[in-house]
Structure 1
Amino acid sequence: MPISLQKGQKVDLTKGNPSLSKILVGLGWDVNQYDGGFDFDLDASAFLVGADGKAQPQDFIFYSNLKHTSGAVEHMGDNLTGEGEGDDEQIKVDLSLIPSNIEKVAFTVTIYDADKRKQNFGQVNNAYIRIVDETTDTELIRYDLGEDFSIETAVVVGEIYKHNGEWKFNAIGSGFQGGLAALCANYGIETC
């Protein structure tokens, strides 16, 4: 049975499970009734962030840059419609390969062309992030975001971070207006 988190909760990943190395981060969502004439294309991304809270352009993993040069983080591909059951997008993380200068990996979701399509996270429900031990296929953590969003077009869903040599997970659920550009600016990347 996975640990179910609330916004702001933090939980150890490796302290009680020292053999944990490979995790699968699954992100999923459903779209409320929407009749705008466009598909609802949500995109998961990961920012590998240093001690200064910033990421370098090569440390931004998304649909156009699927794998980090270290091999530590790999996006499994873009789902253009979000239809179907289960995870809509997945990101694999090998904790043992994360470069020593990286202190956290933030997992985000944005709405592609949100302004043009007049879409926002108020039109999305059942959004979640889950952490799975890839070796045993056991779901360890689940965080359901709830319905806290209205006009936001980007969300930092959660992050894994290093604390005293151990990896932890933080359920964030923080929304942004301005889509992917706002997230990139938040993590110090000038253009995305």
Structure 2
Amino acid sequence: MAISLTKGQKIDLTKTNPGMTKVLIGLGWDTNKYDGGTAFDLDASVFTLNASGKAGSEKDFIFYNNPKNENGSVVHTGDNKTGEGDGDDEQIKVDLASVPANVEKISICITIHEAQERNQNFGQVSNAYARIVNEESNEELIRYDLGEDFSVETAIVVAELYRNNGEWKFSAIGSGYKDGLNGLVRDFGLA
């Protein structure tokens, strides 16, 4: 049974699951009825960050057009352009044991593609969540439902995996950005 977290909560991941090295990060969402006539395209992405909270290069930004980091320890499994259907809309696989030593945090984000042009924001998105699954056993370990806290934001830092004393932990962040992907790229040192 998965542990459900709320915004701001943190939990051990590898300490409570000894021997687990491969996790799947599942992200999902629904869009509310929207009369603008333009389809929503939400995108999951990951930034691998150093101890200063910055990405070393553009290769540390993993998304549908750059599907894996340099050593292949973080892999985006593909772009879902509609978000229709049940279950995860997009997924990222992480081999925790192979993540480069200089990576202290793995920041998990969702952005709305062309949000400004399409006049869209997270106030029109519901049932957004992130979950961590043990890839080997397919057991859902952690679930974080974002709730309906957003209105004008076009990007969200959903959660992060981070190292602490040689173990990996999960933190439910839920922090929104009004300036979308540009804000994320700026704050993570790539702008």
Name the TM-score class by shorter chain: over 0.9
Residue 144 (structure 2) aligns with: 143
After TM superposition, list the pairs within 5 Å mapping 1:10-159 onto structure 2.
Answer: 10-55=10-55, 56-159=57-160
Distance 2:94 2:53 in 1: 19
SS in 2 for 1:99: coil
The 2-side partners of 1:105 and 1:36 are apart by: 34
- Equivalent residues, number: 190
**CA displacement, residues 9-49 of structure 1 (integer Å, 9 cap, x when unaligned):** 00000112121100000000000011212110000000000
Q: Offset at 1:52?
A: 1.1
CA distance in 2, matches of 1:59, 1:65: 9
CA distance in 2, matches of 1:174, 1:130: 17
Partner amino acid for 2:15?
K
Q: Distance in 2 between matches of 1:16 and 1:37?
A: 46
Q: Deviations over 1:125-148 (max 9, x none)?
A: 000000000000000000000000
* TM-score of the superposed pair, with normalisation by structure 2: 0.98
After TM superposition, the structure 1 stretch with the greater mean CA deviation from structure 2, 136-145 or 10-19, is 10-19
- Quick one: which amino acid aligns to residue 108 of structure 2? F
* Letter of the structure 2 residue corresponding to residue 136 of structure 1: S
Aligned residue number for residue 7 of structure 1? 7
Runs of 4+, deviation exceeding 4 Å: none
Mind listing any 5+ residue stretches in structure 1 that lack a counterpart?
none
Deviations 1:148-192 (A, max 9, x none): 0000000000000000000000000000011111111010111xx
TM-score between both structures, scaled by the size of structure 1: 0.98
Residue 171 of structure 1 corresponds to 172
- Give the secondary structure class of the aligned counterpart of 1:46: strand
% identical equivalent positions: 63
**Structure 2 stretches lacking a partner, 5+ long:** none
Aligned equivalents of 1:179, 1:164: Cα separation in 2: 32
Q: Return the letter of the residue paired with 1:145.
A: L
Structure 1 residue aligned with 2:183: 182
When the two chains are superposed, the root-mean-square deviation of aligned CA atoms in Å is 0.6
